[in-house]
Amino acid sequence: MKLFVGLGNPGASYARNRHNVGFMAVEAIASAHGFGPWRSKFHGEIAEGRLGVEKVLLLKPGTYMNLSGDAVRAALQFYKLEPDDVTVFHDELDLPSGRVRVKTGGGHAGHNGLRSIDAHIGPAFHRVRIGIGHPGDKRLVSPHVLGVALGDFAKGDAEWLDDLLRGIADGAPELAAGDTVRFLHRVGLAGRPPQAAKPGPEAAAQPETLAPAPRPERSPFQRLADRFR
């Protein structure tokens, strides 16, 4: 079994925050792959299903970000899993908006959700880092990720965000199988604009033709003059 954890804060007021993109990612996976209904367990909400041959438990901690490790540890202990079975989806300030990277282990870089999980199970879990961009000033970080209205994804972000979440959901079976290269490839494909269809060989062989322009109507005098030319 694999445990996929989406990080975020519970409650409607946080639902569209950049800090909640981890919640959005696991919700997209659940929807795309027909997971069971969300239900309360392990200090949060869980949904169960399969990604390829892997049985996967999706978890959204309900303890607020800085206590996320409580829910993760409870699920790990119940199912007797190891940190290597855990993949955490979280927002990443140090990546441009829409970029996704995967890593195993490492520090928490000040992210309170990762800090809490690290304190409960150690750092040897997998992370899917979802770029939300940096506001450019350290003083603006908190409102950028959490502020009322300012911390929400803007309407203009909807198109790339929807594509990104679809790509994460499309590639989730590869991620569960441990194939991060194919997972990232699927994410990348979802964000590309469709390519214009190329003309076939028969189109290249046939030159474009134009219908001849109609001849203007001639007057009776012009037709008579034509007879004597």
Which residues are known to be catalytic? 19
In angstroms, the CA 181 to CA 107 distance is 22
Q: Report how far apart the first and last C-alpha atoms of the chain are (Å, whole number).
A: 96
| Longest CA pairwise span in the chain (Å) | 108
Strands (E), 69-188: 86-92, 100-104, 126-131
- The torsion defined by the Cα of 148, 168, 36 and 152, in degrees rounded to 10, comes to 10
> 4, 58 in Cβ contact below 8 A?
yes
Contact at 8 Å (CB) between 72 and 2? no
- Residue given tokens 């506001």 in the structure block: 135
Give the pair of three-digit tokens for residue 136: 């450019």
- Give the dihedral sign, CA 78/79/82/83: negative
User: Which H or E run includes 55?
Assistant: strand 54-61
